[in-house]
Chain A
């Protein structure tokens, strides 16, 4: 079992409120990502779940048990830290043994020298050795067991840190941006490894990241947090395609979603930049914001399609895609459009016509709420 639920968590450091009335239910075996910009309180929330930080009010419930007054070491959770926090003076093997020894050995058995004479220790040592070996096999770090963390590369340290968390089969894994210290290629590789690990362990993972790509690729559900509030909790595709507010839409997705001022006529039809949306919306507001992802805009040569004109000011060539940053006369902000490399490069300064690739767009109130 590994269900964790948070009820009305509040946390402030001095006068700064970090978490505001945050509630969250995490199901057993789920890969939940807490994602949000730096300083949104996601790491603090993870520490509160772990018990390393105490909330000002609210309840943390693990497996139907309130653990507000249970200290971190008694909550049976394992954590992977951003800096890995391996014990630098111990070999990888000793690092992996530490959580097992601290939990399984009695006080006498842990004593140096004297401990060796306690008969029960031998048996326990055997089972610890087996567990360490098994874990190192899973993570492919068996040949690194006798090295110290200082002699390992970033990726190997990351595995060792994972191993130390995995070795004792905790209720849930808490990961605090574990991939942020790796280089780009390794990070992408580790994403798939972590997903596989989650599939094979079937334990609850709570994963904190500011990198939405990690959140979108790995998680079963992602929780988008901004300014200490939980804005949306849903599957990655739902969060991406159907964001509940403009802040979520703007945070998730790279490059950032484009927004346009729109007018709503009394019959509910919406018009922006001379383009009329096919769908009608049921709202009383007259002004709203239309948000369109870069891949839903296209550069068109078809003069019949409703479109607006803009000047290309910058080109981002990613190989598989090209993103054009274009400037529209009236507005000061830039718009990003995805173009395909097959269509041929458009040079800076050229004027292009931009239309919707399929006539769908999300509509938001000027205050940021979604109009459906």
Chain B
């Protein structure tokens, strides 16, 4: 065979571009994270691991890790499961599936920025539609359902709903309360993410051959659950892997809802990584700390990718 060098000429533009806009900035960020450099400074000093020590000792950064972890650990499983359930239900619908698909997919298509503003109004403690809906329901069926009075162990006097009604309509402040803020942000995250997962799962479901369900039926898989376990879930393996990976990465990157709704507060309970990078490096111009957070962020993403690539992929591809 004739050995030509042509392939190098085809590859180098891509390689150079990748190095310049991807690899180099990462190493640059890695380098800056060991200095006290701020944007605009003419000189810097090496400070060793000081930035990282700050990150793992100061309360702010501990809170950052906790809120990011909370967000990822809630949004990923809930939106994946909800997406799967919605996809399976829509797949069995004969009519109206398109309408539901549009409704559930709308949050994905819409700008999260605009949606966040809508949520801000909805969740406003005194003017918001949610709290006025709750306030109007005191003593009625809404109190019964949302106060969980239908559960045998919840007494109708001290459910959260009744207590709020009794204390002059003291309903949650949602985004303004440090107890509820992160959960509300998670809820919006799920609302926004699950439509996308649903669409991916719908695509996965249509690619399962019908004959496999017939085979399962002939083999004696009678309940829907047995058929789900034997056919649907394993056949959706590659889709699930993709959905989980993409949702995790997107959850790590959550920024716009935080920026619009809470700015990391109250009491830094919603101070997620992406927002911390933005706040430190862009707003406060402390580039070195921003770089250190970025490096930790990249390490998380790389670990995740490796886990997906070498551990799970072996199990879901056949």
B214 and A73 within 8 A (CB):
no
A122 interface contact, C-beta 8 A: no
A283 interface contact, C-beta 8 A: no
Q: Tell me how many residues of B have a C-beta within 8 Å of chain A.
A: 18
A89 and B215 within 8 A (CB):
no
CB distance from A291 to the nearest CB of B (A): 39
**A1 neighbours in B (Cβ, 8 Å):** none
A73 and B222 within 8 A (CB):
yes
**A86 neighbours in B (Cβ, 8 Å):** 215
Q: How many Å lie between the Cα of A103 and that of B216 in the bound state?
A: 12
A102 interface contact, C-beta 8 A: yes
Residue of A74, A85, A148 with most chain B CB atoms under a 10 A cut-off: A85
B318 interface contact, C-beta 8 A: yes
Residues 33 to 55 of chain A near chain B (Cβ within 8 Å): 47, 50-52
* Smallest CB gap from A74: residue in B: B222
A83-B209, A87-B230, A88-B318 as given contacts; A102 in contact with B220, CB under 8 Å: yes
Q: How many Å lie between the Cα of A148 and that of B315 in the bound state?
A: 12
Residues 219 to 248 of chain B near chain A (Cβ within 8 Å): 219-222, 226, 230-231, 234-235, 237
A72 and B230 within 8 A (CB):
no
A87-B230, A89-B235 as given contacts; A81 in contact with B221, CB under 8 Å: no
**B22 neighbours in A (Cβ, 8 Å):** none
Residues 54 to 92 of chain A near chain B (Cβ within 8 Å): 71-74, 77-79, 81-83, 85-90
Q: How many Å lie between the Cα of A73 and that of B217 in the bound state?
A: 5
B219 and A81 within 8 A (CB):
no
Report which of A51, A88, A99, A150 forms a contact with B220, defined as CB distance below 8 A. A99
Report which of B211, B220, B237 forms a contact with A89, defined as CB distance below 8 A. B237
* Smallest CB gap from B212: residue in A: A85
B218 interface contact, C-beta 8 A: yes
**B214 neighbours in A (Cβ, 8 Å):** 47, 50, 52, 72, 79, 81, 85
CB distance from A173 to the nearest CB of B (A): 11
**B221 neighbours in A (Cβ, 8 Å):** 73, 102
Q: How many Å lie between the Cα of A82 and that of B237 in the bound state?
A: 24
Residues 135 to 174 of chain A near chain B (Cβ within 8 Å): 148-150, 164
CB distance from A243 to the nearest CB of B (A): 33
Q: How many Å lie between the Cα of A299 and that of B215 in the bound state?
A: 52
A263 interface contact, C-beta 8 A: no
A52-B214, A79-B214 as given contacts; A85 in contact with B220, CB under 8 Å: no
B230 and A85 within 8 A (CB):
no
B318 and A89 within 8 A (CB):
yes
**A27 neighbours in B (Cβ, 8 Å):** none
A98 interface contact, C-beta 8 A: yes
How many contacts between A and B, using CB within 8 angstroms?
64
Report which of B217, B231, B235 forms a contact with A52, defined as CB distance below 8 A. B217
Q: How many Å lie between the Cα of A79 and that of B226 in the bound state?
A: 19
* Smallest CB gap from A82: residue in B: B211
CB distance from B211 to the nearest CB of A (A): 4
**A78 neighbours in B (Cβ, 8 Å):** 218
* Smallest CB gap from A76: residue in B: B220
Report which of B211, B220, B237 forms a contact with A103, defined as CB distance below 8 A. B220
**A74 neighbours in B (Cβ, 8 Å):** 222
* Smallest CB gap from B315: residue in A: A89
Contact with A along B11-38 (1 / 0, CB 8 A): 0000000000000000000000000000
Contact with B along A300-335 (1 / 0, CB 8 A): 000000000000000000000000000000000000
Q: How many Å lie between the Cα of A346 and that of B230 in the bound state?
A: 61
Report which of B211, B230, B234, B237 forms a contact with A81, defined as CB distance below 8 A. B211
Q: How many Å lie between the Cα of A73 and that of B230 in the bound state?
A: 14
A85 and B215 within 8 A (CB):
yes
* Smallest CB gap from B214: residue in A: A52
Q: How many Å lie between the Cα of A89 and that of B221 in the bound state?
A: 16
Report which of A72, A73, A85 forms a contact with B211, defined as CB distance below 8 A. A85
Q: How many Å lie between the Cα of A227 and that of B231 in the bound state?
A: 34
CB distance from A192 to the nearest CB of B (A): 26
A83 and B217 within 8 A (CB):
no
Report which of A77, A85, A102 forms a contact with B209, defined as CB distance below 8 A. A85
A73 and B237 within 8 A (CB):
no
**A99 neighbours in B (Cβ, 8 Å):** 218-220
* Smallest CB gap from B316: residue in A: A89
**A148 neighbours in B (Cβ, 8 Å):** 318
CB distance from B116 to the nearest CB of A (A): 41
B215 and A81 within 8 A (CB):
yes
**A164 neighbours in B (Cβ, 8 Å):** 215, 219
B215 and A79 within 8 A (CB):
yes
Report which of B211, B218, B237 forms a contact with A83, defined as CB distance below 8 A. B211
**A83 neighbours in B (Cβ, 8 Å):** 209, 211
A73 and B234 within 8 A (CB):
no
CB distance from A350 to the nearest CB of B (A): 51
Q: How many Å lie between the Cα of A349 and that of B222 in the bound state?
A: 65
A87 and B218 within 8 A (CB):
no
Q: How many Å lie between the Cα of A81 and that of B214 in the bound state?
A: 9
Q: How many Å lie between the Cα of A164 and that of B218 in the bound state?
A: 10
A83-B209, A87-B230, A87-B234 as given contacts; A102 in contact with B218, CB under 8 Å: no
A-B contacts besides A50-B214, A72-B218, 7 pairs, CB < 8 Å:
A71-B217, A79-B214, A83-B209, A87-B212, A87-B234, A89-B318, A102-B226
The chain A residues found within 8 Å of chain B, CB to CB, are 47, 50-52, 71-74, 77-79, 81-83, 85-90, 98-99, 102-103, 148-150, 164
CB<8 Å pairs between A and B, sample of 6? A50-B214, A73-B222, A77-B218, A89-B318, A98-B230, A102-B226
The chain B residues found within 8 Å of chain A, CB to CB, are 209, 211-212, 214-215, 217-222, 226, 230-231, 234-235, 237, 318
Closest 4 CB pairs of A and B: A102-B220, A85-B215, A99-B219, A85-B211
